[in-house]
Amino acid sequence: MQSHNRTPNSLRLYKEAQKVLPGGTTRFTVATDPAPIYIAAGHGAWLTDVDGNRYLDLGNNYTALIHGHGFQPVVDAVAEAIRHGSCFANPTEHEIRLAGMLCERVPGLDKLRFVNTGTEATMFAVKAARAYTGRTKVAKFEGAYHGGYDYVETSEHSAPGTWGPLSDPARVPYAAGTPDAVLADNVILPFNDIDNTLACLERAKSEIACLLVDVMPSRAGLIGLEPDYVATIQRFCNDNGILILCDEVLNFRQGYHGAAAEFGLRPDLITIGKIIGGGLPIGLVGGSDAVMQVFSGKGRRAVVPQGGTFAANPISLVAGIAAMTAWDPPAVARLNAMGERVRNGLRRVIADAGAPMSVTGGASLFRLHMRASPPRTYREFYPSAEEQAVGKLVHQALLGRGILMPPTSSSCLSTPMTDADLDFVLDAVDATLRSVEYRAAIGSAGVAAAPAQGA
C-alpha cells in the first residue's frame, strides 16, 4: 500500500484541497487512496513528488507527453513564443505550419481545425458528421471513452447488471441527469463482435451520422480492433452513407501516420489530441475536404460554426511543432520497438511467476489485466471486484517501487526512456508478483496461480 510515511506532504495538500475542490481534485482519473501524489517536478521520464520521492512515469499525463517532461525543444519554443504574446483572436502563422505537418503525415486529413482538447474535437466532429449527413445518431463502442460530451459518453462504463444483450447493448447513461433524448441518439456496438455489430448497425443504418471508432480503446481494455472487424465496419459504413469518425486523441501515437493508417481504416473524420500539443492543451478535428467544408463560412456563418477563445493559441502550436518535429519515423520506430520489448518482457515475467495476469496493448502502449488470458472484447475485459482489488494492490506495490502507473494500469512509454528504465519496470513487476501480499491477494480472490518458476 502507499505508505502514509512516504507521502506526508501529499496527504497534507489533499486535506487542504478538499476544502475547495469537490472530492479534492480537478480530475476524476486521479487516484486518491489515501491521497493523490502531488507532483513537484517532472524531468524526462521521471517525476518527483512533493515529498521528494521519485517515480518512473508510465502515465505521461494519460499519454499526452510523447517526449516526457521538460523536453528541451518544447521548452525553448514556448519560452521564445510567449515573449511575443500568449494568445490572440487573430491567427498566427504557426497554425498553418502545424496543420501542414499533420495533413502531410495523416492519410485522409485533407483539412483540419484546431481546438483545445480531445473532448472539443470529438464534439465538433460529431456536429460535422450530423451537418454533413443530415442524420442525428452516433454509433459507438461499448466501454470506449471519447471525452466529456454527452453524445459520446453513453455506455462508456456499461457494467454487467445493466449492459443488456450483446445483440442490442443497452444505452447506459454515464452522468446522472443525461437526457433520454441523448441516449435515443446513440447506437452501442460490441467491438470485435462482427455479427452483433452488424445487427445493431442494420437496425438503425439510415439514421446513423457517424460511427465513432477508437482502434484501441484504452478504457475498454486497450484491446486492438481485429483486422476483419475493421474491414467489416468500413464496408458497412461506406455502403450505407455512415461517416467513419476515427478518434485518435490517444492513439495517434500508434504510428507516424496515425492510428487509422496502422489499422487499415479509412476515416472521413479524424480527431487528434494529446501528443500533438507537446504537453500543452490542444485537439484537432479534421478529415476529408468535402466533410470539413461544414466549418467553412467563406464570409457567412458556417453550417457548423466552430471557434474557441484559446483555439490555435500560439503557445500550444509552437510546442506541438517542436514535439512533432522530433516525433519522426526513427523516433516512432524506436519507441514502438521498446513497447514490444516491455510487453514481451511482462509476459515472460508473468509466466515465470505463474501469475494470473495478462497484457494487451500495441505500439508504445500496454495494459496489465488481473486475469490469466488477455481479453479481446470489452465484456471479457470488464474486471470483477476481485480483479479490481488485485489491480489496486499491484498499482500500490509498483508505486512503492518507484513506478507511477495510471490507476487503470493503461500505461505508455516516452522517448526519453531507456532500456534500463524498461528493466526497472520488469524487475518491479517481477518482485510484486512474487511478493507475499500479491500471492495472498490472488489466493483470497480465488484466482488459481501456477507455481512460480525460478523463485
The answer to whether 143 and 172 have CB atoms below 8 angstroms apart is no
Q: Binding to ligand PLP by residue 147, rule CB under 6 A?
A: yes
**C-alpha cell at position 296:** 467553412
In the complex, least distance from residue 144 CB atom to ligand PLP, rounded to whole angstroms: 7
Alpha carbon distance, N-terminus to C-terminus of the chain: 23
In the complex, least distance from residue 335 CB atom to ligand PLP, rounded to whole angstroms: 18
Among 65-73, 245-253, 306-314, 341-349, the segment contacting ligand PLP (CB under 6 A)? 245-253
Buried b (16+ CB within 10 A) or exposed e, 230-257: bebbbebbeeeebbbbbbbbbbbbbbbb
Q: Which of residues 256-275 bind ligand PLP (CB under 6 A)?
A: 273
Q: Binding to ligand PLP by residue 406, rule CB under 6 A?
A: no
Q: What count of other Cβ atoms lies within 10 Å of the Cβ of residue 293?
A: 16
Tell me the residue number closest to ligand PLP, measured at CB.
Answer: 118
**C-alpha cell at position 258:** 496515425
* 3-state helix/strand/coil string of 360-414: EEECCEEEEECCCCCCCCHHHHCCCHHHHHHHHHHHHHHHHCCEECCCCCEEECC
In the complex, least distance from residue 384 CB atom to ligand PLP, rounded to whole angstroms: 24
Q: Binding to ligand PLP by residue 145, rule CB under 6 A?
A: yes
Q: Binding to ligand PLP by residue 247, rule CB under 6 A?
A: yes
Q: Which of residues 195-214 bind ligand PLP (CB under 6 A)?
A: 214
* Binder of ligand PLP out of 250, 270, 272, 294 (CB under 6 A): 250
Q: Binding to ligand PLP by residue 119, rule CB under 6 A?
A: yes
User: Among residues 62 and 310, whose Cβ is nearest to ligand PLP?
Assistant: 62
Among 143-151, 167-175, 363-371, 419-427, the segment contacting ligand PLP (CB under 6 A)? 143-151
Q: Binding to ligand PLP by residue 153, rule CB under 6 A?
A: no
The answer to whether 152 and 122 have CB atoms below 8 angstroms apart is yes
Q: Binding to ligand PLP by residue 122, rule CB under 6 A?
A: yes
The answer to whether 403 and 346 have CB atoms below 8 angstroms apart is no
User: Among residues 146 and 253, whose Cβ is nearest to ligand PLP?
Assistant: 146
34 upstream amide cis, omega within 30 of 0: yes
Which residues, including other chains, have CB under 8 Å from residue 407's CB and lie 6 or more apart?
29, 30, 31, 392, 395
- Residues forming beta bridges with residue 272, ordered by sequence position: 248, 284
In the complex, least distance from residue 354 CB atom to ligand PLP, rounded to whole angstroms: 33
Among 53-61, 82-90, 185-193, 242-250, the segment contacting ligand PLP (CB under 6 A)? 242-250
User: Among residues 377 and 410, whose Cβ is nearest to ligand PLP?
Assistant: 410
